[in-house]
Structure 1
Amino acid sequence: MILDLIAQFERASANYAAANGVERDADWFLLKLVEETGELAQVVNRVSGRSRSKGMGEAELHRLLEDETADLLGHVLLFARHHGVALDDAIERKWRFRPDS
């Protein structure tokens, strides 16, 4: 399951990069991960009232929270793939369960 998910994110990312002339080198994978973490933090600040909502209602803010969480997950998986991280093994060691294959 996790390998299929990684492959789907990889295809989407590669297509986006090709369509927009983006070079996905080693730095890019880390920088995108940091960028998406920052975007998620911004939304969390808005949702929690620590930052202005910019006129967005609760539903819109929740949708942004979902979207940015999905972006961060995707970039974590892309980072892991790029660096040859065996996520199944790491999850089993750190979280004490094996993701469904």
Structure 2
Amino acid sequence: MLSQLMQQFELASQKYALANGIERDPDWYLLKLQEEVGEVTQAWNRLSGRGRRKGKTAEEMRQDLSDETADLLGHVLLLAHNSGLDLEASIQRKWRFEPAI
């Protein structure tokens, strides 16, 4: 189930990298993941009153947090895909349930 989602993120990432001249070497996956963690943190800080609102409404800030969280999820899946990780087996082992995604 997750493997299909990984493939979708992989295809989208390939298109983005080609369009923007980005080389996705092994380090890129981890560096992008770290960048996205920072962006989620920034969005959370804004929403929770710990950062500048930049003129955004509460709903816009919630949307930013949702968008950045989606980016973070995508980059987790890209890292797993590029590294050949079996996230479904790890979820079953670590969280003790079968992912339905």
Structure 1, gaps ≥5 residues long: none
The one-letter code matched in structure 2 to 1:78 is: L
Distance 1:20 1:60 in 2: 27
Q: TM-score if structure 1 supplies the norm length?
A: 0.97
Q: TM-score if structure 2 supplies the norm length?
A: 0.97
1:18-97 correspondence runs (5 A): 18-97=18-97
Distance 2:73 2:100 in 1: 17
Structure 2, gaps ≥5 residues long: none
The one-letter code matched in structure 1 to 2:35 is: E
Q: CA deviation at 1:100?
A: 3.3
| Root mean square deviation, CA, Å | 1.0
Distance 1:51 1:18 in 2: 34
Q: CA deviation at 1:98?
A: 1.4
Distance 1:13 1:41 in 2: 22
Distance 1:7 1:81 in 2: 8
